[in-house]
Structure 1
Amino acid sequence: MSTYFAICPRGLEEHLLEELRGVGGEDLRTTHGGVFFTGDWSVCYRANLESRLATRILWHIVKGPYQKEEDIYRLAVRQLWPNHFDVTRTMRVVTTAIKCPLKSLDFVTLRVKDAVCDRFREDRGDRPNIETRNPDVSIHVFLSENECTLYLDTSGQPLWQRGFRKASVDAPLKENLAAGILKITGWQPGTPLVDPMCGSGTFLLEAVQMALDRAPGLDRGFAFEMLRNFEAMNWANIRQAAEARVKPAEPMDIRGYDIDDKAVRATRRNLQEAGFGNVVTVDQGDLLETQPLTDHGILVTNPPYGERIGEQDELAAFYPELGSALKKHWAGWNCFFFTADLRLPKLVGLKPSRKTPLFNGPLECRLFEIRMVAGSNRKV
């Protein structure tokens, strides 16, 4: 049994814990921005392959106290790195910290890199090459006020990179955050789903994968394949089992609209590239004019935040029109708006039944749920 730390967008920790329990994780414990868990390598492989919410899965190597940089060097140089990966693998060191008293994290990164290379030289007579952009192996250093934890990354590229979104538009939502938002909405396959401002189609792509029970990591590789203890046959069986679960892609009541033709083309291309071109309907349309084709369902969207002053004014004018459109067309629907603009409910003129704090990177946001009760719509 090994210990791991799964990183996720802040606000999704409890949902990630349930997901990790579902792939066999034990001793689960949440903290800000992630979940600690234990398991064998099958659990680690499944977490990387099947987690929709995690950003990466880190394998815990060692934890120890420190007061200065040399304490961290000594902790790192004692670890048997050549037992974990081959000297021919490229590597990098990534350092993050909370309340760390040391002056330079860059210097900590350098000392850990020196420690790993010194250990290789002593044990193997050679050292691995450093590659900062796309290494085979990443060592993660986490510093609290007085403790240093060293991890090996088992994911490689962040897990929100599903391996198939080719076309993008401005400010796309990361896939794991979109998947988490869909979980919070309570959407279930078979329920009508509409994203009326679909951008490059992230909500739609995640919803289709959920509906098909398609593991999000089936189209990509992982860093654990580069480690010395990689269990190739075990991994092949896990992948095969995940592929066997995937349901056939058939048309679903999942729809996307966007006023921008470029976004519509990007979404259609992304769906086509992923093999879902015939599953989702995507059309050009203005949210204020769009009407649902059923009397109930889930509307979920990520409207513009208005980061510049002129945009703020445009949004202040747009929101009351949005409120009117929701009352006019969307009675019976549960509507979810993910935004950093906390003025939205007040200016829309509709009271949210739930406000869920979430972070889009460092940006604090809210997922507002507005229930449009059937029978209460009126002509506006």
Structure 2
Amino acid sequence: MEIFLVATPGLEQLLLDEARALGFDARTEPGGVVFTGGWPDVWRANLMIRGATRVLVRIGAFRAMHPAQLDKRAHRFPWADWLRPDVPLRIEATSRKSRIYHAGAIIQRIEKAITDTLGAPIADDAQLVLKVRIEDDLCTLSLDSSGESLHKRGHKRAVGKAPMRETMAAMLLHQCGFDGSAPVLDPMCGSGTFVIEAAEIAQGLVPGRMRSFAFELLPSFDAQAWSALREAQTTKPVPAIRFHGSDRDPGAIRMSGENALRAGVAELTEFQVLPISDITPPPGPPGLVIINPPYGARIGNKGPLFGLHAAMGEVLRSRFSGWRVGLVTSEAQLARATGLPFAEPGPHVAHGGLKIRLWLTGPLP
């Protein structure tokens, strides 16, 4: 089967690096990363890959030049090979450069084919989703094996404003060269995403360990093999280093601590209420400061942000010798206002309707 890992736009190469590091013979395609494999590979990808937002399984494709042809070929498709008649299903459709262009008509015909030939119920709130894409008159059918987006690790019940998704945070940490062997400090930590992801990476905790997946509703699912795969994942010894978060908002720090506890990394993480002007390096070796500060579009007025970034840069330059700094922003002028010696920024990444980039320094003098 073709297995497609959906990437956040701009993070395709980083996701490819991760997939290959996990042993998948992958390549990039528009929108993500693809490789071939069987159902155990689908399960392992969902369980272990930190940077994908979904894992799609391409189950078939056929030409459809007009609605009657779509109807006929959908009725002939072997739905029973892929779906259970007792599991509700939801259909999503897109069309591009094709003679069949109306998504509603596509959904209607696929739904009818499935109910006529398999009898599976159709429901708007179904956890299992079949994605139908018609492009250049080629109809491709893909099952979403993940269910909820993979950034939902299962431990975060509380989030702050403009949260960084776990999948993006993991890829930005990777872009910073983080491998779990150095401490991390996020002085605007919000709900603790960067800190918790870093601690999980350091201890070898797989991201999907606390949640369920849509593939468990498919006829191909082998509960015993899946249980064995999950139990085979081993953690690393608890590292001596710690991962630190601070924020001036006491509510954010409370959320971060609760999220870290649910994630099982409370003993690796430390959170405290501090304005960024009061941060100091934690004990131990230098590591990575990573910051996702406000960047204008989220709060409306960019003017005060230049002063914030200048003050932030002064604190880091004067106190964090030997540390590297990663700054996430949509505004190059704000990054430059810090006065930090950033290298050329990374690729543009889609985030909440904006295009952000990671700006990274080497060890500060």
Q: Assess same fold via TM > 0.5.
A: yes
Displacement after TM superposition at 1:346 (Å): 2.6
Residue range with higher mean Cα deviation, 95-104 or 57-66 = 95-104
1:241 is aligned to 232
8 Å CA contact retained: 1:92, 1:132: yes
User: Structure 1 residues 16, 141: closer, same or farther in 2, change over 3 A?
Assistant: same
2:74 is aligned to 76
Displacement after TM superposition at 1:249 (Å): 4.7
1:306 is aligned to 296
Match of 2:273 among 284, 289, 294: 284
Q: Matched residue of 1:288: which SS?
A: helix
2:10 is aligned to 11
Q: Matched residue of 2:301: which SS?
A: helix
* CA–CA separation in structure 2 for the residues paired with 1:76 and 1:39: 24
The two structures have a TM-score, normalised by structure 2, of 0.92
User: Structure 1 residues 363, 31: closer, same or farther in 2, change over 3 A?
Assistant: farther
Letter in structure 1 aligned against 2:312: L
Displacement after TM superposition at 1:314 (Å): 1.9
* CA–CA separation in structure 2 for the residues paired with 1:111 and 1:341: 46
CA RMSD in angstroms comes to 2.2
User: Structure 1 residues 227, 313: closer, same or farther in 2, change over 3 A?
Assistant: same
* CA–CA separation in structure 2 for the residues paired with 1:119 and 1:239: 35
1:349 is aligned to 339
8 Å CA contact retained: 2:195, 2:269: yes
User: Structure 1 residues 349, 250: closer, same or farther in 2, change over 3 A?
Assistant: closer
Displacement after TM superposition at 1:311 (Å): 2.9
Letter in structure 2 aligned against 1:306: G
Q: Matched residue of 1:180: which SS?
A: helix
Letter in structure 2 aligned against 1:256: G
User: Structure 1 residues 86, 71: closer, same or farther in 2, change over 3 A?
Assistant: same
Displacement after TM superposition at 1:272 (Å): 1.4
Displacement after TM superposition at 1:332 (Å): 1.8
Pair 1:182-2:173 in alignment: yes
* CA–CA separation in structure 2 for the residues paired with 1:86 and 1:6: 23
Displacement after TM superposition at 1:231 (Å): 2.2
User: Structure 1 residues 170, 65: closer, same or farther in 2, change over 3 A?
Assistant: same
Q: Matched residue of 2:295: which SS?
A: coil
Letter in structure 2 aligned against 1:255: H
Deviations 1:80-137 (A, max 9, x none): 11222221101001224555665532332222222222222xxxxxx2222223x242
1:38 is aligned to 36
Letter in structure 1 aligned against 2:180: P
* CA–CA separation in structure 1 for the residues paired with 2:22 and 2:318: 43
Q: Matched residue of 1:168: which SS?
A: coil
1:377 is aligned to none
* CA–CA separation in structure 2 for the residues paired with 1:290 and 1:188: 24
Displacement after TM superposition at 1:308 (Å): 5.8
* CA–CA separation in structure 2 for the residues paired with 1:97 and 1:163: 33
The two structures have a TM-score, normalised by structure 1, of 0.88
Match of 2:124 among 123, 132, 135: 132
Note the residue ranges of structure 1 that are not aligned, 5 or more in a row: 121-126, 375-380
Deviations 1:226-272 (A, max 9, x none): 11121222212211101xx1235566321001111111111011111
Map 1:251-330; keep pairs closer than 5 Å.
252-293=241-282, 294=284, 296-307=286-297, 310-330=300-320
Note the residue ranges of structure 2 that are not aligned, 5 or more in a row: none
Residue range with higher mean Cα deviation, 319-328 or 31-40 = 319-328
User: Structure 1 residues 317, 260: closer, same or farther in 2, change over 3 A?
Assistant: same
* CA–CA separation in structure 2 for the residues paired with 1:21 and 1:269: 33
Letter in structure 2 aligned against 1:247: K
8 Å CA contact retained: 1:90, 1:128: yes
1:95 is aligned to 93
Q: Percent identity?
A: 32
Residue range with higher mean Cα deviation, 261-270 or 96-105 = 96-105
* CA–CA separation in structure 1 for the residues paired with 2:143 and 2:213: 12
8 Å CA contact retained: 1:354, 1:370: no
Letter in structure 2 aligned against 1:49: L
